[in-house]
Structure 1
Amino acid sequence: MHSNSTLGPSIAIAMSGAIWGVYWIPIRKLNDIGVTASWASLITIGLTAIFFVFLFTRQFIKTGRIPWHVLITVLLTGMCIIFYAVSLVLTEVIKTVLLFYLTPVWSTILDRVVFKEQISPYRIVAVISGISGLAVILGVAEGIPKISNLGDLLALLSGIFWAFAMIRVRNNNKAAVWEQVGAFYIGGTIFAAVFIFLPVEPNAATPSLPTLHEALFWLIIFIAAYLPSMYLMFWGAQRLPPARVGILMMTEIVFGVTSAALLSGEPFGLKEMIGIILILSAAIIDVSDRYSTSKSANLLE
């Protein structure tokens, strides 16, 4: 593939990762105003989901086809985004970003356990590095590392389910970009509605009209930024090797950690720095190994 044909998708993936890296800012701002992460997700994602429900319905009327593989992915991606959003208000931003970005660890384990793939020594090193980073972030220096709050658990689970969802996307890559984006928004709406009725977030009351009016600016930012970013991610991912996608999406870690360290007012010290290095190393080793493996396979064809 000519390099010019990959430039646009590469920029799209990197931009999407950068936008998701600062996802915590509108979530925290809305929560401070009185619109919890669940309600913010239901309002913004739900409004967009209505459009995609219309598209899926029209497709079914015209073709009689129900894209079951997409609908299953709906549940996984929807679960991921809500778990991630809620964790951002229940724990530190840096912990949420890093715990989510353990996806190379879970992808490797799922590839081995579920799909019986052979795992290279490099990916084993990536798993060890990622787990070590997890232990540092969770406080191995204070004893046995453990999940200290619900936010940590939700961030960890969001990464696990995201890894499984991306494996499904990789194995069912015939879906159109709009189907994948629509799955994300419909699934997010479903789980946001469920979370509203669970005793998870403090002060999770239905936002009043004055509160929504005060939050309008951030709600618009939410919709305007994250619908295009999802389209950019899926569009770019269909046009690039998975390894390159993984490398480019690391802009999420860079922007997430940097913005949180500068703007959130949360602790950022040696423990967080070591955790970042270990987890980022795991991601780099994982995608580099995937790239070299795919390159070798192409040479043999």
Structure 2
Amino acid sequence: MLFYLTPLWSTLLARFVLGEPITLLRWIAMAIAILGMLVIFRADVGIPLPERPGDWIALSSGLLWAVASILLRADRNSDAIDLLTQNFIWSAIIAAALLLAFGRGLPGSPPLATYLAQLPWLVPAIILVVMTGVYASMWGTPKLNPGLVGLLFMTEISVGAITAAIWSGDPFGWREVIGVVLISSAGMLESLWDLWRNRKAQPA
């Protein structure tokens, strides 16, 4: 949950680093999105404070993505293919380093044959789904306000809730429906407002 505070960090950084204004509509959209997140996660007591290492990792991940969106916005001439390639190269290097440093002797680790058996479906899934999603992120992020990018990324919560209900049998009732609607509405609010304002400004 702490990761999805990204819109807040992105909006503040965009204001102080890039000089982009923070509109009232942005504050409303962030409030709606965070409310939807709390509804889906059943966080009746509000956003939890970071206590465990995983909490701090989630919080720092959101901050790092906010910084990344600011850097992408500041350098709009970067090629999305180059960014995609660098992303996977550095991800592989960091993952390998972490595996070598902390992966030995972990209890319950499946044998290598188990991993190899998953490759026939895993490789196409990575190419068609993961790489496509990362490319879209690298291509679209420089074109949008970082705060809006953070709001759009919160739709991951909606997708996760729906797929968990379909594939894992997790409950999906009115609470989840309301949360999905709130988060989706927050992501579309500014775009729909700009569309309406542009149409209104056009001469009849």
How would you bin the TM-score normalised by the shorter chain?
0.5 to 0.7
Summarize the Cα distance change of 1:176–1:101 in structure 2 as closer, same or farther, 3 Å threshold.
Answer: same
In the other structure, the counterpart of 1:135 is 38
In the other structure, the counterpart of 2:171 is 267
Alignment of structure 1 residues 202-281 onto 2, 5 Å: 203=107, 205=109, 208-225=111-128, 226-235=130-139, 237=140, 241-242=143-144, 255-281=159-185
CA contact (8 A) 1:106 1:163 kept: yes
Once residues 34 and 152 of structure 2 are traced to their aligned partners in structure 1, the CA distance between those partners, rounded to angstroms, is 22
Post-superposition shift, 1:172? 0.6
In the other structure, the counterpart of 2:64 is 161
SS at match of 1:261: helix
Post-superposition shift, 1:286? 4.3
Q: What residue identity is the alignment partner of 1:224?
A: I
Q: Deviations over 1:70-123 (max 9, x none)?
A: xxxxxxxxxxxxxxxxxxxxxxxxx6xxx6555433322222344443211101
Post-superposition shift, 1:261? 1.7
Which deviates more from structure 2 when the two are superposed, residues 158-167 or residues 144-153? 144-153
Summarize the Cα distance change of 1:114–1:133 in structure 2 as closer, same or farther, 3 Å threshold.
Answer: farther
In the other structure, the counterpart of 2:186 is 282
Q: What residue identity is the alignment partner of 1:180?
A: L
Q: State the superposition RMSD in angstroms.
A: 4.1
Q: Say whether 1:126 aligns with 2:26.
A: no
Match for residue 109 of structure 1 among 8, 12, 15: 12
Once residues 250 and 144 of structure 1 are traced to their aligned partners in structure 2, the CA distance between those partners, rounded to angstroms, is 17
SS at match of 1:268: coil
Q: Deviations over 1:176-209 (max 9, x none)?
A: 222111121123223323443448xx7574x533
Q: What residue identity is the alignment partner of 1:260?
A: A
CA contact (8 A) 1:178 1:231 kept: yes
CA contact (8 A) 2:25 2:190 kept: yes
Alignment of structure 1 residues 27-176 onto 2, 5 Å: 103-141=6-44, 143-146=45-48, 154-155=57-58, 157-176=60-79
CA contact (8 A) 1:105 1:126 kept: no
Summarize the Cα distance change of 1:116–1:174 in structure 2 as closer, same or farther, 3 Å threshold.
Answer: closer
Summarize the Cα distance change of 1:113–1:144 in structure 2 as closer, same or farther, 3 Å threshold.
Answer: same
Summarize the Cα distance change of 1:248–1:198 in structure 2 as closer, same or farther, 3 Å threshold.
Answer: same
CA contact (8 A) 2:155 2:187 kept: no
Summarize the Cα distance change of 1:190–1:288 in structure 2 as closer, same or farther, 3 Å threshold.
Answer: farther
Summarize the Cα distance change of 1:145–1:233 in structure 2 as closer, same or farther, 3 Å threshold.
Answer: closer
Once residues 157 and 272 of structure 1 are traced to their aligned partners in structure 2, the CA distance between those partners, rounded to angstroms, is 27
Post-superposition shift, 1:253? 5.8
* Ranges in structure 2 where 5+ consecutive residues have no aligned partner: none
Post-superposition shift, 1:164? 2.5
SS at match of 2:118: helix
SS at match of 1:265: coil
In the other structure, the counterpart of 1:187 is 90
TM-score by length of 1: 0.49
* Ranges in structure 1 where 5+ consecutive residues have no aligned partner: 1-94
Q: Deviations over 1:150-180 (max 9, x none)?
A: 6666555444432321221121111122211
Once residues 143 and 177 of structure 2 are traced to their aligned partners in structure 1, the CA distance between those partners, rounded to angstroms, is 29
